[in-house]
Amino acid sequence: MALDDIDFEWDENKRQANRRKHGVDFADAVECFYDSFSKVIPDPDHHAEHRYVLVGIDTSGRLLVVVYSQPDDTTIRIISARAATPSERRTFLQR
Provide the pLDDT confidence category of residue 40 given band limits of 50, 70 and 90.
very high
- According to the 3-state scheme, what is the secondary structure of the chain? CCHHHCEEECCHHHHHHHHHHHCCCHHHHHHHCCCCCCEEEECCCCCCCCEEEEEEECCCCCEEEEEEEEEECCEEEEEEEEECCHHHHHHHHHC
The whole model's pTM is what?
A: 0.91
Q: Is residue 1 part of a domain?
A: no
Residue 66 lies in a domain: yes
Residue 75 reports pLDDT greater than 80: yes
Whether 59 maps to a domain, the answer reads yes
**How is the beta sheet containing 51-57 ordered, strand by strand?**
7-9, 75-83, 63-72, 51-57, 39-42
pLDDT at 1: 59
Q: What is the CA radius of gyration of the chain?
A: 13
Any domain includes 52: yes
Domain count, the chain: 1
Task: Tell me the residue range of the domain where 17 lies.
Answer: 7-93
Domain assignment present for 64: yes
Query: What CATH number is attached to the domain comprising 17?
Result: 3.10.450.530
Within a domain: residue 26?
Answer: yes
